[in-house]
Amino acid sequence: MDLYSIMVLSAITISSSLILLLLLIGNKKKKEMNSMVPAVPGLPLIGNLLQLKAKKPHQTFAKWAETYGPIFSVKLGSSTMVVINSTELAKEAMVTRFSSISTRRPSNALTLLTSQKSIIAMADYGEYHKMAKRYILSAVLGAAAQKRNRGHRDILTENIVNFLYADIAGDSQSAVNLRKHFKNELFRLALMQALGKDIESIFVEELGVTMSKEEIFQVLVVDPMMGAIEVDWRDFFPYMRWVPNRSMEMKIHSMATRKRAITKALIMEQKKRIARGEKINCYLDYLVSEESTLTEEQLIALVWESIIETSDTTLVTSEWAMYELAKNPKFQDRLYQEILEVCGSEKIREEHLQQMPYLNAVFHETLRFHSPVPIIPPRYIHEDTQLGGYNVPAGTEITINLYACNMDKKDWDEPGVWNPERFLSSKYDQMDMYKTMAFGGGKRVCAGSLQAYLISCVAVGRFIQEFQWRLKEGELENVDTVQLTTHKLHPMQAYITPRESCVRK
| Binding-site residue ranges for heme | 446
Instruction: Read off φ and ψ for residue 432, nearest 5 degrees.
Output: -75, 115
Looking at the chain, the number of H-run helices and the number of E-run strands are 17, 12
- Label residue 208 left, alpha or beta by phi (over 0 means left) and psi (-120 to 50 means alpha): left
Say whether 200 sits in a helix, a strand or coil. Answer: coil
Annotated binding-site residues read 446
CA distances 47 to 39, 42, 73, 377, 401, Å, are: 10, 4, 11, 20, 19
Q: How many residues does the chain have?
A: 505
First to last CA, the chain: 114
> Per-residue DSSP letters for 102-132?
-EE---HHHHHHTTTT-STTTS-TTHHHHHH
Closest residue by Cα to residue 445 from 83, 102, 89, 187: 102
Closest residue by Cα to residue 381 from 173, 170, 79, 176: 79
What single-letter DSSP state applies at residue 47?
B
Spatial contact of 112 and 252, defined as CB atoms under 8 Å apart: yes
β-partners of residue 433 are none
What's the sign of the alpha-carbon dihedral 4, 9, 12, 13? negative
Closest residue by Cα to residue 222 from 97, 299, 315: 315
Q: How many CB atoms lie within 10 A of CB 214?
A: 12
